[in-house]
Copies of this chain bind each other. A is one copy, B any other.
Amino acid sequence: MASPEIEALTQALSRLPGLGPRSARRAVLHLLKKRETALEPLLSALGAVSQRLSTCQVCGNVDTLDPCAICADPRRDARALCVVEEVADLWALDRARLFPGKFHVLGGRLSALEGVRPEDLRIDSLVRRVSGGGVDEVVLAMNATLDGQTTAHYVAERLETYPVRITQLAHGLPVGGELDYLDEGTLAQALRARRPVA
């Protein structure tokens, strides 16, 4: 019985990850009740993003700037390049503020099953960035999945003729991980990569 406009808003919200029809309805009610403090700020924030949104021509990040804020930041070390599958991965690593260098977003992972080939990813532009010089290290930060690791291998091969150090995120026990609950694959990796106690 809600009006078509409210129905459309509920539909649009319910398609966001993490929101179903029920929570979208609750969110809409919240927006309707808090017009000044919730609806209008969200509307103007969405409008601003929609107007300026673009994909960074350098690294593949999505941002309202091009080059993106990370590529444009002079305090970041351009000699270290972290390659990730998706923009979400870039954000996750950047949120932790652990990597002081720049990023390169492939836009996916190689997958025979899903028919994703090298030319579907931003690999050529990565090779161009590296071949242009000025890069000392490329950190491969793909997911620890079969497709992620296949992609990492392929990228490493494409870069092996250039004078850069190619590294990969360590695999092993997650912080707080209890041996008893971890899968065999993780345990095997942790064992294989074991290190001398300092």
Considering only residues 25-44 of chain A, those with a C-beta below 8 Å from chain B are: 25-27, 29-33, 35, 38-43
Residue from B5, B25, B29, B43 in contact with A43 in the complex, judged by beta carbons closer than 8 Å: B43
* Contact B26–A13 (Cβ < 8 Å): no
Residue from B62, B69, B88 in contact with A26 in the complex, judged by beta carbons closer than 8 Å: B88
* Contact B39–A49 (Cβ < 8 Å): yes
What are the residues of chain B within 8 A of A12 when measuring CB–CB? Answer: 38, 41-42, 45-46
Chain A residues within 8 Å of B, Cβ to Cβ: 1-6, 8-9, 11-13, 15-19, 23, 25-27, 29-33, 35, 38-43, 45-50, 52-53, 62-65, 68-70, 73, 87-88, 91, 94
What are the residues of chain B within 8 A of A5 when measuring CB–CB? Answer: 45, 48-49, 52, 64
* Contact A19–B25 (Cβ < 8 Å): no
Residue from B29, B31, B38 in contact with A88 in the complex, judged by beta carbons closer than 8 Å: B29
Residue from B9, B13, B87 in contact with A32 in the complex, judged by beta carbons closer than 8 Å: B87
